[in-house]
Structure 1
Amino acid sequence: MPDLWLPGAERHPLGDTAPTDTQYAPRVIWHITWDKNASAARPADLVPFDRLVAYFTGAGRSSAPHILWDPFTGRVAQFYPANSRSKSVVDRAGGTRTNRTGRVCLQVEILFFPHCRVNGKTYATVRDTPVKGLDKILAWVRSWGVPDGWPMGSPSWSANRSEEVWETRGGHYGHSQTPENTHTDPGPMPKWPAGGSPAPKPGPPRFPGRAAFGPGKSNSSILLLGQQLVRRGYGKHYRVGPSRDWGEADRRNVQDFQRAQGWSGTGADGLPGPETWRRLFS
């Protein structure tokens, strides 16, 4: 098993761990701390690293990431183990749980804001910084199966969000590319091998097992199933759209899909098995 804690990182465990939704592909979400509003005409000194550590272990623990990284010194602090969710993105009820989406959903806060000043020099984007220690972070996230590419393209200062891409592809995402959120960070990022190019599209998400579906069940796999049924044109029985709660509309929509495969009898009972899942997500 890969390391739960980035080797060499300072450890500040917050203890408030929770599992991720492992049927989705692994990913990283990149942020900048954006502690000050500066400009090319009026740059400002970078905020000290220890001040951010104190914030994420104190008043800001409700928005703490996995990793805080200083690209100027390579210093790294970690607050959550890799197999837990962290809390740096908005996570609205009823949709994909954006803090939990993936076998891992690693969040990195970069100590940076546009036009920050370090040792007398001003830096407009993360791409302009020395990016010390980035290689160690990338090696660690790769060990967790995260592909190198950016499924929605390399970040800019503009938002670019797609719920479908988010649900079906692993890799690197900016806060600006995360559904249900409004921030536009981290801005232009440094390039690494395959950086800026889409990650290969993975196979179907892992089948969660038959026990995930049926009357009384409520989980993210039911939501993922319903969303895919709608995309494939088998959502006519939904009145308001799919949700995390299993209902008769889910069963009837699955049954329509199964019958379209030429199945009947117990093969078209409306409860997804491994082959239904594989064909639906192919």
Structure 2
Amino acid sequence: MAAVVDAWMPGAKRVCCSNARGGQLQGGAPRAVWTTTESDPAALSARAVAQRLVADGRSAHLVWNPLTGETAQLLPATAAAAGQLNPDGTDRACEGRVCLVIQVIGHTLAPFTDSPLRGLEPILRWLDSWRVPRRWPAGTPPARPGLPEDCQSERLWARGGHFGHSQVPGATAAGPGAIAPQRLLDPDRRPPAPGPAVPPPRPVPAPADRPGAGARPYVGAARG
């Protein structure tokens, strides 16, 4: 496991979270859970959103702005973001050697993996240091609420790795939306290139003006 000194991500701005509910991490496969704040990354800083979470009695480990690259940290990796993933029942935020919750400034219906993803590599290196495997067992998160039957599979959750909030067993969250896990975990990959453009139809030759004049295939000017 990573050294205690790595409990705070290097380079992240620290925001005091006095309302953390605590909770003992129970051991098991390490995980990272990505969710969205439903706010505009062009208008809000990571620090401002982190402070707003604290004011609302909420918490997370990281708040990240993928447009600017700014990252703020509220909790050390060794503390559970208790109560932040499930409204009732088993507290999934306490499961795993670590269960690191990342609030991404963005909207569910506008996948943040279409943004520049500035500052992502330091986050991934920090998660790597806590042995969170770079895999996404549950596949692409759904675009909207109304989850596939096996989206919140206990079996997949038990494998550890990266998950969307909507894929946490028992969660009711819609975020992070239909992000592209392959681009998130490998920033060198880009969204699939669009297919070839459909060529315009060939123009139909206009009839000859008079016998023997020949075809004039691109006649377009109106006659006076």
Aligned equivalent of 2:84: 88
Aligned equivalent of 2:125: 139
CA separation in 2, counterparts of 1:113 and 1:29?
16
Worse overlay, 97-106 or 151-160: 151-160
Residues 46 and 113 of structure 1, relative CA distance in 2, 3 Å threshold: farther
Aligned equivalent of 1:181: 171
SS, match of residue 92 in structure 2: coil
Offset at 1:46?
4.0
Amino acid at match of 1:65: A
CA separation in 2, counterparts of 1:109 and 1:153?
19
CA separation in 2, counterparts of 1:54 and 1:14?
8
TM-score (norm 1): 0.56
Structure with greater proportional helix content: 1
CA separation in 1, counterparts of 2:102 and 2:52?
15
**Equivalent residues of 1:148, 1:194 under 8 A apart:** no
Map Cα deviations across residues 85-123 of structure 1 (whole Å, 9 max, x no partner).
Answer: 114311523x3x2111110000000011157xxxxxxxx
Aligned equivalent of 2:99: 105
2:12 aligned with 1:9: yes
Residues 82 and 111 of structure 1, relative CA distance in 2, 3 Å threshold: same
CA separation in 2, counterparts of 1:47 and 1:88?
24
Amino acid at match of 1:127: T
SS, match of residue 127 in structure 1: helix
**Equivalent residues of 1:175, 1:183 under 8 A apart:** yes
Aligned equivalent of 1:209: none
CA separation in 1, counterparts of 2:166 and 2:42?
22
2:158 aligned with 1:161: no
Residues 45 and 132 of structure 1, relative CA distance in 2, 3 Å threshold: closer
Aligned equivalent of 2:69: 74
Offset at 1:27?
0.2
CA separation in 1, counterparts of 2:41 and 2:167?
28
Q: Which runs of 5+ in 2 are unaligned?
A: 189-224
Number of equivalenced pairs: 173
Amino acid at match of 1:150: W
Higher relative contact order (CA 8 A, sep 6+): 2
Q: Structure 1 vs Structure 2: percent identity of aligned residues?
A: 32
> Residues 239-250 of structure 1: matches in 2 within 5 Å?
none
**Equivalent residues of 1:6, 1:137 under 8 A apart:** yes
CA separation in 1, counterparts of 2:12 and 2:23?
21
2:34 aligned with 1:30: yes
Map Cα deviations across residues 31-70 of structure 1 (whole Å, 9 max, x no partner).
Answer: 01013xxxxxxxx784412431221221x23x21110000
Q: Which runs of 5+ in 1 are unaligned?
A: 36-43, 116-123, 196-282
Amino acid at match of 2:164: G
CA separation in 2, counterparts of 1:67 and 1:114?
18
Worse overlay, 147-156 or 171-180: 147-156
Residues 129 and 102 of structure 1, relative CA distance in 2, 3 Å threshold: same
Residues 57 and 99 of structure 1, relative CA distance in 2, 3 Å threshold: same
Query: Max radius of gyration: which structure?
Result: 2
TM-score (norm 2): 0.70
Aligned equivalent of 2:26: 21
